[in-house]
Chain A
Amino acid sequence: MLDSTIKTKKTLRQIAGVVASLKQVPIVPFATIFVMMVVAITADWIAPHSPVEGNLSISLLPPSWMDGGNLSYLLGTDRFGRDVLSRLIYGARVSMSVACLAITITAALGTLVGLMAGYLGGFIDTILMRLADVFMSFPGILIALILAVVLGPSFTNVVIIVLIILWPRFARQVRGEALSIKEQDFVVLARAMGVSSWKVMWRHIFPNVIPSLAVLVTFEVGWVIILEATLAFLGVGIPPPNPSWGVMIADGRNYLEMAWWISFFPGVAIGLSVFGFNMLGDWVRDRLDPKLRQI
């Protein structure tokens, strides 16, 4: 009886704690990211026009609130008469899917490497970490550019480039955590009971690195979005006619004086998404990992 009352009280307190922490949730970043995700998923239904087929008779139409604007083309059209808003909406799909896929694969591989290096130690640790050091000493954007040229422009290749540039950061972070966790009693005990290395890593160490992993993931997503857009801008990212935001900005560059809207809106979309992830990252870091605040 007494036992269950205590339990109930404890649960209540936990719920109160969760509610209190929710109050501090930054609404704006969460809302931005949520909207971007929804737009990306529902692009087929909400886009008013085709993102790739244009109508040359209505090219370079200004946004609807300006002189000569057309209400059916809210944000205007580009030089091929394609609807900027529709391209923006499908661009969200490109950007979000590259970012999510790339960060998931990179975090998974980086975590695996980090766990192995940190937990197994010795020779494996030395090899993996020296490799990580070398990869981290490349200037990222330059290597991305050259890899993009070598591999050719495609969705998969952008993901591969992100993986190559970003895995060491995850590996190093996870290794550091694993090193200190493996000294703790519960891990030592598990090993003493003969639990296999893989199981210790997966069941005992991995759950404890999740918080710092979450911080890193939120921060790096923003960087991946910018990298994807940059490669697309330089003409070596997701190939046309896919409406990547970076491609749209590059398209509008030559029409800047007469049609600023072609380049302007995709930049706003990139800025909003990355800003959302960066703010969220700041918040997650402050909540989960005070140690990391300095970086």
Chain B
Amino acid sequence: MQRYVLWRVIQAIIAIWFVSVIVFGVVRLTGDPLCVMLPPEATQEDYDQMTIKLGLDRPLPVQYGIFFVGVIHGDLGDSFRFKRPAADVVLERLPATLQLGVIASLIALAIAVPIGVYSARRKGTLLDNITRGFAILGQSLPTFWTGIILILVFAVWLNLFPTSGKGGVQYFVLPAVTMGYFAAAGIMRLTRSAMLEVLDSEYIKLARAKGLRESVVVWKHAFKNASLPVLTFSTIIFVRILAGSVVTETVFAWPGVGRLVVESVSYRDFPVIQTVVMLMSAMFVAGNLVADILYAYVNPKIRYRK
């Protein structure tokens, strides 16, 4: 188990390092940031000065070296657009994204778990197919469209929720439902198959034979055991929701990291893009790592393999 965990952690670190190389390389190819930053009437001298100031005149490996040493010290350069440390700019926006991500994950669970449990118990019935279809439909609709339609119906027509921006509880509802509904299908499938497996086992038959109430059998005996893989998978869903915030935040004008990166792309704000991608990748890798370790912990077959 310890060797497995250690090996997975090393893999995760290599992955994040590789992300930094790719991000650095790719972002340098997106175009010249100075064209956007400097006014059109800027002279060649202004241009050269700025190039030197930002370190864009040095060879790429040197630029990467500076970047990498900076990353280790938590310094990812100054944002070209805000003229402040990129890390600060991104971290300011992070809470909004995390809050939305947590609530969206809870909504995904609230949609997926009851449907998964229900459709496992009533496998093959019409309602099983309908509820499952509802969950899979969520995965089939792009979040930017669901978001726009929710805005149209609940904000514009019914005037129940604000169209966009961030504020009190009512501002969370539409974006969180948009993201949660999209993520629900995966959890639903897992819950359903886990429940199917558990409901088929001997101890459930015994519990039923003892004459326990069906709700006690299903929720206390069966779901308790089926919920482990579901909870493990939820960490993966959470980081996927965070990555997906790029789209949802753009639609809802949510002041989070996702929207920041879309804006930064058009400003060619390298340091901010790098920081966001590094941060998101790190969270993505960490989420997968936690899921793998949790999974290994509950599954002896993996725990004892190495």
A contact residues vs B (CB 8 Å cutoff): 130, 133-134, 137-143, 145-147, 149-150, 222, 226, 229-230, 233-234, 246, 249-250, 252-253, 256-257, 260, 263-264, 266-267, 270-271, 274-275, 278-279, 282, 293-295
Known pairs A133-B11, A271-B137; A142 contacts B142 (CB<8 A): no
Who on chain B is nearest to A276 by CB?
B140
Given the interface pairs A263-B148, A279-B136, the reply to whether A234 lies near B262 with Cβ below 8 Å is yes
Instruction: Select one of A130, A267, A275 contacting B145, CB under 8 A.
Output: A267
Least Cβ–Cβ distance between A154 and chain B, in angstroms: 15
* Interfacial chain A residues near B141, Cβ < 8 Å: 267, 270-271, 274
Chain A residue with the shortest CB-CB distance to B190 = A294
- CB-nearest residue of chain B to A137: B15
Interface string of B141-176 (1 = CB under 8 A from A): 110111011011000100000000000000000000
Instruction: Tell yes or no: B103 within 8 A of A by CB.
Output: no
What is the total number of residues of chain B having a CB less than 8 Å from a CB of chain A? 53
By the criterion CB–CB under 8 Å, are B148 and A275 in contact?
no
Closest partner residue, chain B, to A272 (CB atom): B140
Q: Is B69 an interface residue (CB 8 A)?
A: no
Q: What residues on B are CB-neighbors of A249 within 8 Å?
A: 142, 144-145, 148
* Closest Cβ–Cβ distance, residue A225 to chain B (whole Å): 9
Are B136 and A275 interface neighbours, CB within 8 A? yes
Separation of A130 and B133 alpha carbons in the complex (Å): 37
Given contacts A137-B19, A271-B140, are A263 and B265 in contact (CB under 8 A)? no
Q: Which secondary structure dominates where chain B touches chain A?
A: helix
Query: Is B131 engaged at the interface, CB distance under 8 Å to the other chain?
Result: no
Fill in one digit per residue for B1-32: 1 if any A CB lies within 8 Å of its CB, else 0.
00000000001101110110011001101100
- A contact residues around B97 at 8 Å (CB): none
Q: Is the interface of A mostly helix, strand, loop or mixed?
A: helix
Q: Are B139 and A278 in contact (CB under 8 A)?
A: yes
Residues 118-147 of chain B, each 1 if its beta carbon lies under 8 Å from chain A, else 0: 000000000000000100110111101110
Of B33-41, B212-220, B280-288, the segment with at least 4 beta carbons within 8 Å of chain A is: B280-288
| Residues of the B chain whose Cβ atoms lie less than 8 Å from the Cβ of A146 | 23, 26-27, 30, 265, 273, 277
Knowing that A141-B243, A274-B141 touch, tell me 20 more A-B residue pairs with CB under 8 angstroms. A134-B14, A134-B15, A134-B18, A137-B12, A137-B284, A138-B284, A139-B281, A142-B261, A145-B265, A146-B273, A234-B262, A263-B149, A264-B149, A267-B141, A270-B140, A270-B142, A270-B145, A274-B140, A275-B136, A294-B194
